[in-house]
Amino acid sequence: MLTLMEIQSLKGHNCLFKHSVYKRISVSISLTILIFVFGLFPKLVLTYYSTGIYPYISSSLRFVSSIFPFAIGDLVYLLLIGFVIYKVVRFFRKRKTLNRKHRVIVPLQVLNFFLVLYILFKIAWGLNYSRPSVSEELGIGDEKYSVKELVLLGDYFVKKTNSLKSKQSKIPAYSINDLEQNSSKAYDLLKNKNSLFRYKNPCLKPVSSNWLTSKAGIEGYYAPLTGEANMNMALPDFVKPYVSCHEIAHQLGISYEDEANLLGYLTASNMPDVNYQYSANYEMLRYILFEIRMKSPQDYKLLYEKIEPRVLADFKTEKEFWRKYNGDMFGYMDAAFDSFLKLNNQPKGIDSYQDIVIWLWNIHKKELKKVERERVNSAYSR
C-alpha cells in the first residue's frame, strides 16, 4: 500500500511531467510557426539564412561528417527509424496500462517528435526551399522559348556533345576521392565570379548500398542532417562527373532539382577536363531531347539522327543500366509515355516547360540567335 505522502509525491511527479510535455510542445509549435512565417519572405531567407548562417552550418556539418569514411547520414536515418519502431512497439505493449491522461499526452509527444525533426531539417537545410530562384542570383533570364528555338537549342547541344565525344579517349574509372577532388576544383574555378560557388570542407561519399539506391532509381542524394552528398558509384562512369557536381550544389543550399541541375551544368562544363564537359553536355542533351520529343516528335527524330553513334551508345548503356534494376517500371514508363504522345494523335506538352531547359536557352540564346541570323543571311545571299 502506498502512503499518503507517496501518493501525493506521485501526483506531483505526474503534474510536473504533464507540465513539461505542454511546455515542450508549446516551444516546438512556436518555433515551427516562426520558421514558417520567416520562409514567406524569400529575400530575408537569402540574406540572413542562405547567405548568412547556412554556409557556416553546412561547412561545419561537412567538416564533422568528413571524419567518417562512410555515410553517417544513412546511420542517423536508420537510428531514427529504429527509434520510431521501438516507441510504437513499446506503446502497443503498454497500451492496457495507459489511463485517460495518456490519450492527450501520447499524441502530443508524437507531434512534438515530428515538429522537432521539422525544425532541425529547416535549420540544417530546408529553409533554402524558400530562397529566391538561383537563376536570379546568377543573372540568368527566364524568357520562354518557342518550339523553333527549342529545336535550335537541341541542335546546338547535339553538335556540342558530338564534338566533345570525339575528343574523349578513355573514360576514367572514377573513385569517390577522384570525384570529390575534381568536382571541388570545378566549383573553385567559378567562386571568384559568384560566391554561390564557394565550397569549403568537401564531403562526397558513396551511398551505403549501390543496389538499393539503383533499385530506387536514384543517382545520388543529399543528407540534410549531416551535410553529406552521397553518390551512387554503380552509375556509368561518364555520368558521374555531372552527378557529383549536382549533389555538391545541394550541399551549397540549392534545394530544387532543376536549380541543382543548373549548377551541375555550369561547373562541370567549365572544367578543362573533357570528361567533365562531356558529362555535363550529355545530361543537358537528355533534358532537351525529352522536351523536344513532347513538343515536336518530328524534330526529335531528325535531331536523334544527327547524334554520333558513340553518344547513342552511351544513351544505350545508361538505359540498360536502369533497366537492369528497374526492368518492369522502365517498360511501364515507356509505354505510358508513348500513349501520352499518341493520345488523340496530337503532340502534347506544348505548354509545359522544364526550368533547366529555359535557363539553358537563356544562357545560349544570344549565341544561337546570331548563328541562326548568319545562316538565314547566307541562304538569302545564295
Give the model's pLDDT for residue 98: 67
Pairing of strands 228-231, 220-223: antiparallel
**The residue to which cell 540534410 is assigned:** 224
Phi/psi of residue 294, nearest 5 degrees: -75, -40
Q: Hey, what's the cell of 275? A: 570528361
Which CA distances in Å does 119 have to 35, 113, 129, 215, 250?
A: 8, 10, 14, 31, 19
pLDDT in the model for residue 7: 46
Average of per-residue pLDDT values in the chain: 87
The CB-side HSE value for 280 (13 A sphere, CA atoms) comes to: 25
- Around 62, how many Cα atoms within 13 Å sit in the side-chain half-sphere? 24
Residue count of the chain, please give it: 382
> Based on C-alpha coordinates, what's the Rg of the chain?
26
Which residues on neighbouring strands pair with residue 222, listed in sequence order? 229
Whether the Cβ atoms of residue 90 and residue 2 lie closer than 8 Å to each other: no
Model pLDDT for residues 231-270, shown as the tens digit of each residue: 999 999 999 999 999 999 999 999 999 999 999 999 999 9
CA distance 29 to 279: 45
- What's the pLDDT tens digit per position in 284-301? 999 999 999 989 999 999
The partner residues of 229 in beta bridges, in order of sequence, read 204, 222
Cell 565525344 belongs to which residue? 165
Check whether 1 has a pLDDT greater than 90.
Answer: no
346 falls in which pLDDT band (50, 70, 90)? very low
- Helix, strand, or coil (residue 271): coil
CA–CA gap between residue 188 and residue 341 (Å, rounded): 43
Domain ranges of the chain: 4-130, 134-381
Determine the residue type at 379: A
Q: What is the pLDDT of residue 92?
A: 76
pLDDT in tens, 94-153: 776 766 666 667 788 888 999 999 999 999 999 999 999 999 999 999 999 999 999 999
What pLDDT sits at residue 90?
Answer: 79
Residue bearing cell 545520388: 220
pLDDT in tens, 149-186: 999 999 999 999 999 999 998 899 999 999 999 999 99
Task: Judge whether residue 373 has pLDDT over 90.
Answer: no
Dihedral (CA of 25, 29, 35, 39) sign? positive
Contact residues for 117 (Cβ-Cβ < 8 A; gap 6+): 80
Beta-strand runs (E) in the chain:
204-206, 220-223, 228-231
What is the distance between the alpha carbons of residues 361 and 364, in angstroms, rounded to a whole number?
5
| 35-44, 242-251, 290-299, 344-353: least confidently modelled range | 344-353
Q: Cell 494523335 maps to which residue?
A: 345
Q: How far is the C-alpha of 46 from the C-alpha of 54, rounded, in Å?
A: 10
Question: For 204-220, what is the mean pLDDT?
Answer: 92
Q: Return the higher-pLDDT residue of 17 and 187.
A: 187
Of 229, 243, 225, the C-alpha closest to 321 is: 243
Q: How many CB atoms within 10 Å of residue 295?
A: 21
DSSP class of residue 132 equals: P
Q: What value does the mean pLDDT take over residues 25-54?
A: 96
CB count in 10 Å sphere of residue 94: 10
Which one has a higher pLDDT value, 237 or 218?
Answer: 237
